[in-house]
């Protein structure tokens, strides 16, 4: 029904900053939101979020599950790092993926495994269970209730699913859709070769923990986690199907703009890497489908777009004037005609620390990345010929003009950088007390 954007990119491949950019229409550079330790209002107290905008227009604005950042699974069943003014109503279901964590298998070893810390982990569980025993099944059920309760009024309903975030937990029937013998992984020899021409800062968080981020994870263990990741995606697909069915049942499918998006991409062993928070394509690129009744007709779009474009797009298609000062643009022209001429490259930034940051720009052909303004290295990948980003062309003189042109387009983003000192972690506070 919608337009599938095949080149859609997040503003930062990390949960908190990416989700804040969607809900504010502002880049992390403008808000200072660069990690998962911030509350939105502490940084931009007067910002008008997407939910607030629609509330002002008389809409019901409801949230179930994870829209702003949540520490998963620790914050399941709570408000997490939510923003209260965004919503008319909020719901926080909790399922066996949180209440029965002791049953989860952890593939990695080390202190994190000993503490059963699973917010970042190589862990999975395939219980014989019903969809609604799990948090995401309950999220879908509550979203359906919100649709039915508010079907006779304008609504902005956000259903935030936790999967496929680790630990990878879903009913066994979704695991059974896949055969471990069909799960392929890049060999570690090939993966190591892929990283030879990459600047050290590009894999700053991963190099000391390579491969697969944690000690003790075997090649077969990584395959099990990859299968589990696929299972959680299939579980998620089924929940989305339930919500679409509810819209059809209530005669709302022709009256409702539907957006399917994810906050960032993900590595599943490619280059020996796992998780997010990298400037590579697999980390920056996101799934994005936008369906507008009477406009979109199930077509793909190959133009580069950004998650920050969703705020102005929804406001525009709902028939309102787009607020000034947003960093994105309305995707209305591309939703009407996915082949429309479009000259807006996508910008993704990676922030490790004040002195460790990268900016990556993506055109329809090229990905170009500068670390610390190029002083800590550069990367250039030709996606027409190298979609897996195996060969860094940045040191080849014949591509100097390409890099110069792309670098110039990044200047405004780099100059607008705003650094905000994040609050200390709990373990840092305990250390100070000692």
pLDDT digits (tens, 9 = 90+) for 198-242: 999 999 999 989 999 999 999 999 999 999 999 999 999 999 999
Cα 173 to Cα 196: distance, rounded to the nearest angstrom: 40
pLDDT at 420: 76
pLDDT at 21: 97
Q: Are 144 and 131 in contact (CB under 8 A)?
A: no
| CA neighbor of 307 nearest in space, from 2, 13, 3 | 13
Name the DSSP class of 422: P
Cα 284 to Cα 280: distance, rounded to the nearest angstrom: 6
Q: Are 29 and 413 in contact (CB under 8 A)?
A: yes
Model pTM? 0.95
pLDDT at 416: 74
3-state helix, strand, coil in the chain (%, to 5): 35, 20, 45
Q: Would you kindly state where each structural domain of the chain is located, as residue ranges?
A: 3-344
List the catalytic residues.
15, 69
**Phi, then psi, of 404 in degrees rounded to 5:** -65, -45
What is the sign, positive or negative, of the torsion defined by CA atoms of 199, 201, 287, 34?
negative
Cα 211 to Cα 274: distance, rounded to the nearest angstrom: 8
What is the sign, positive or negative, of the torsion defined by CA atoms of 99, 222, 203, 394?
negative
Mean per-residue pLDDT pooled into runs of 10, the chain (434 residues): 98 97 95 90 95 98 97 94 97 98 95 91 97 98 98 98 97 98 96 96 93 95 98 98 98 97 98 97 98 95 98 98 96 97 96 93 98 97 98 97 96 76 59 55
| Structure tokens belonging to residue 26 | 């502002």
CB atoms closer than 10 angstroms to residue 254: 10
Residue-wise pLDDT for 389-427, tens only, equals 999 999 999 999 999 999 999 987 777 777 777 666 554
Cα 138 to Cα 115: distance, rounded to the nearest angstrom: 28
Topology (CATH level 3) of domain 3-344: Alkaline Phosphatase, subunit A (3.40.720)
- CA angle in degrees (0–180, nearest 5) for 154-157-160: 175
pLDDT at 83: 97
Compute CA distances 322 → 41, 105, 230, whole Å.
Answer: 22, 47, 38
Quick one: 21 exposed, middle or buried, by C-beta within 10 A (0-12, 13-18, 19+)?
Answer: buried
pLDDT at 140: 98
């Amino acid at each position: 029904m919608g337009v599938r954007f095949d080149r859609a990119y997040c503003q930062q491949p990390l949960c908190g900053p990416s989700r804040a950019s969607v809900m504010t229409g502002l880049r992390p550079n403008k808000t200072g939101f660069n990690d998962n330790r911030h509350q939105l209002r502490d940084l931009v107290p007067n910002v008008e979020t997407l939910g607030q905008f629609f509330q002002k227009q008389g809409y019901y604005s409801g949230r179930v599950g994870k829209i702003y950042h949540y520490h998963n699974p620790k914050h399941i069943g709570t408000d997490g790092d939510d923003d209260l003014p965004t919503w008319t109503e909020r719901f926080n279901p909790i399922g066996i993926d949180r209440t029965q964590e002791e049953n989860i298998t952890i593939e990695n070893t080390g202190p994190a495994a000993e503490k059963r810390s699973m917010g970042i982990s190589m862990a999975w569980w395939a219980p014989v269970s019903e969809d609604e025993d799990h948090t995401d099944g309950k999220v879908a059920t509550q979203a359906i209730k919100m649709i039915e309760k508010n079907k006779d009024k304008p609504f902005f309903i956000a259903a935030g699913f936790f999967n496929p975030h680790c630990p990878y937990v879903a009913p066994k029937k979704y695991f059974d859709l896949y055969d471990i013998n069909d799960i392929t992984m890049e060999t570690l020899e090939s993966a190591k070769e892929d990283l030879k021409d990459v600047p050290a800062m590009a894999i700053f968080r991963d190099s000391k923990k390579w491969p697969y981020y944690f000690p003790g994870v075997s090649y077969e263990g990584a395959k099990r986690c990859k299968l589990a990741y696929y299972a959680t995606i299939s579980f998620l697909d089924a929940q989305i199907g339930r919500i679409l069915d509810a819209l059809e049942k209530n005669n709302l499918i022709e009256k409702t703009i539907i957006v399917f998006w994810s906050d960032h991409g993900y590595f599943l062993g490619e280059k020996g890497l796992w998780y997010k928070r990298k400037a590579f394509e697999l980390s920056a690129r996101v799934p994005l489908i936008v369906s507008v009744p009477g406009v979109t007709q199930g077509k793909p779009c190959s133009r580069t777009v950004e998650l920050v474009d969703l705020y102005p797009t929804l406001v525009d298609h709902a028939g309102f004037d787009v607020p000034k000062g947003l960093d994105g643009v309305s995707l209305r022209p591309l939703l009407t005609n996915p082949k429309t001429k479009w000259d807006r490259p996508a910008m993704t930034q990676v922030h490790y620390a004040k002195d460790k940051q990268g900016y990556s720009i993506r055109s329809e052909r090229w990905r170009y990345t500068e670390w610390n303004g190029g002083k800590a290295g550069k990367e250039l990948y030709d996606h027409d010929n190298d979609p897996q980003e195996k060969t860094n062309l940045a040191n080849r003189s014949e591509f100097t003009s390409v890099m110069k042109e792309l670098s110039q387009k990044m200047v405004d983003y780099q100059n607008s950088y705003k650094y905000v000192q994040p609050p200390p972690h709990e373990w840092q506070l305990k250390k100070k007390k000692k």
